[in-house]
A = this chain, B = another copy of it.
Amino acid sequence: MKVFVPGHVTFFFSPRPEEGGSIGVGACLDKGVIMEAHSGRKRDNLSGIRREVVYDISKELEGEVHFSGRAQLPFKHGLGMSGALYLSVLLSKSIELGLGKTIEDIGEIAHSLELRRGTGLGDVIAQIRGGIDVRLKAGGPKTGKIEKLLPRKNYRVSIAPLGELETKEVLKSEKVLSRFRSVGENLLREFLESEGDLELAVELSKYFFEKTKLGKLMEMSNEFHLLGDSLDEKGVTWGISMLGKTIVSISRSGIERRVIRKTISRYVKPIECRIDPCGARVI
């Protein structure tokens, strides 16, 4: 049985290390990781995923299996791919071995892997639910609290990956974390009071980026600023995926999507997605 785990973009967040995670707003993508575990098959078949990492994750559950799988999005671009990999490896293994676990049981293990490895703070709970997530209480799927926002339009998401970034490099400074914390908390409050939609969340990501001085910290390229300006000129709703050197634009029509695609293509090959309403599941 194959599992799919969506990728995930975070628009803004407030770290809550003492509660083991973060609060914030983001959205799941209909591209992510597809994985299947096999008992008694000798060859792995992995595309875009490092074998050593998969086997390292697999050790979190007892038993031996092999894996076939592929990554549909790049790692290290703020697209929640570490969480997607952890979840997909452990969910597929649990199914293959008939461990009788719930998605939340596995989610707790994946979430603590994220914290231990410093690869993320809140993707896993969102990836289990799918859709546009409002994370109200930090933690894994059993202790955190999440709600799903109703999208008002049939949005498409265009992603411009402009450079690699290791999440843990950004999250290691106490000073930076404290800045994230206060900015993210204020934005979440503002968002909840506004009857906000996906468009507002995307716009607020730029505000988060600016107020936390992430631009300086992450050493954004010239392309990043030029693409942002071009999208502004076209009147496009765009924002930044945390923590990544990645611009995320949303469109409500085919015409708008073509404008975005043409604009992004001048700098990098865009990745086009929809919002995944569903979360981690058997496919």
Contacts and interface: CB of A to CB of B under 8 A. Distances in A.
A197 B98 contact: yes
Contacts of A103: 131, 147-150
Interface stretch (A59-67, A158-166, A243-251, A275-283): A275-283
A278 B195 contact: no
Contacts of A130: 278
Contact of A278 (B100, B101, B278): B278
A102 interface: yes
A105 interface: yes
A154 interface: yes
Interface in A78-107: 91, 94-95, 98-106
B104 A148 contact: yes
One complex includes copies of this chain to the number of 2
A260 interface: no
A48 interface: no
Interface in A235-283: 277-279, 281-282
A17 interface: no
A148 B91 CA distance: 12
Interface in A111-152: 130-131, 134, 142, 147-152
Nearest to A149: B102
Contact of A1 (B95, B147, B154, B281): B154
B99 A195 contact: yes
A278 B134 CA distance: 17
A194 interface: yes
A247 B282 CA distance: 25
Nearest to A131: B281
Contacts of A91: 150
B196 A153 contact: no
B277 A282 contact: yes
A11 to B, nearest CB: 16
A201 B3 CA distance: 22
Contact of A152 (B95, B134, B194, B197): B95
12 contacts: A1-B152, A1-B154, A95-B151, A98-B195, A100-B195, A100-B197, A103-B148, A106-B150, A130-B278, A154-B282, A277-B278, A278-B279
Given A99-B195, A102-B148, A277-B282, 10 more contacts: A94-B150, A100-B196, A101-B195, A102-B150, A103-B148, A106-B150, A130-B278, A154-B282, A277-B281, A278-B281
Interface of A: 1, 91, 94-95, 98-106, 130-131, 134, 142, 147-154, 194-197, 277-279, 281-282
Question: What are the 3 closest A-B residue pairs judged by CB atoms, nearest first?
Answer: A100-B195, A102-B147, A278-B278
